Copies of this chain bind each other. A is one copy, B any other.
Amino acid sequence: MTEIRLTSEIGVDLAQAIGSDAMIAHAAMVSSIGGSCHPVGDVSPSKLEGLLRTLITKRHGTPFEHGCMTVRVHAPIKVWREWHRHRVGWSYNEESGRYKQLEPVFYLPPPDRPMRQADGFKAMAPTFDTVDQLEYDVVCGIMKRAYENSYREYEHLLSRGVDKGLARDVLGVGIYSACYCTANPRSIMHFLELRTERPDAKRPSRPLYEIRAAAEKLEALFAEQWPVTHRLGCENGRAAP
C-alpha cells in the first residue's frame, strides 16, 4: 500500500506579478489629468502616499484593479472550497481528480492550532482552545488513521479500473490539491480582509484557520509588490476599497 504523507504546510509561491503603487496612482490620476497624463513613473513619494490614502479612505476601488499577481498554491481541498467562492477578479486552474490519481498528501493541524471547542461554545460564534500534546497526538492519530483508510480504499477502487472521478469520492477534504490563482490587487485586498484575523481590522472576520494561513503568505507577497498600498490599507483598518 502507498504510504501517505502528512503535513501542516500550506504553500503559496509567487509565479508572476505586475503593477505597482505608482501604476495605481496613475490610473487614478487620469480622471483629473486626462489626455496629458504623465507616463507611469514620476509621482513623488509624498504625492503618491497622499493620493493612495485618499483612494483607500474614500473607497475609490477601481484604480486598484490595474495589475495582477499569480500564485501557485498547495492546500487541502477544504481551503479550495472557500477560496473558490471568491468570484470577482479571481481566476483559477486546479489539479483534477478526474484526470490524475490524487497524491497521498493529507493535512494535519500544527500543534498550536486552536482545535477544541472552548467553554461556553456557541455554534454561530465558535471559539477554540489549543490542546495539550497528548490530546494533539490523539486527534492527529485519528485523522491519520482515517486518511490512511480512505486512501487504501481509493487505491482499491482504482485497481479495479474504477473511474478516478468516482473513486475519489471516498477521499476526505483534507487531501491536498494544487491550484494557480490570479487576482488583481483590489480582489486580493478583499480576500485578505475576509480571510485574515487581525486586531487592527475595522470589520472583524473569523476565517478558518487553514485559509488564514494561506492568506498570511499571500499578504506577504502582496506587501512586497504594493508596499505603500499595503501599509495604508493596514493603517485604514484593512477595509478593502
Which residues in A have some Cβ–Cβ distance to B below 8 Å?
15-19, 23, 26-28, 30-37, 40, 58-59, 62-63, 65-68, 70, 72, 74, 76-78, 80-81, 84-85, 87-88, 90-100, 102-103, 105-107, 109, 113-117, 121, 123-124, 126, 128, 135, 138-139, 142-143, 145-147, 149-150, 153-154, 156-157, 160-166, 168-174, 176-180, 182, 184, 203, 208-209
Contacts of A116 in B (CB 8 A): 160-163
Contacts of A147 in B (CB 8 A): 170
Majority DSSP secondary structure for residues of A touching B: mixed
* Interchain CA distance A145-B66 in the complex, whole Å: 38
* Interchain CA distance A78-B211 in the complex, whole Å: 19
* Interchain CA distance A68-B125 in the complex, whole Å: 31
**Complex partner residue of A172 from B80, B145, B171, CB under 8 angstroms:** B171
Among residues of B, the one whose C-beta sits closest to the C-beta of A176 is B35
Q: What is the minimal beta-carbon distance from A33 to any residue of chain B, in angstroms?
A: 7
The answer to whether B146 and A32 have CB atoms under 8 Å apart is no
- Answer whether A72 and B166 are a contact pair too, CB < 8 Å, given A27-B180, A99-B124: no
Contacts of A165 in B (CB 8 A): 78, 208-209
Contacts of A138 in B (CB 8 A): 160
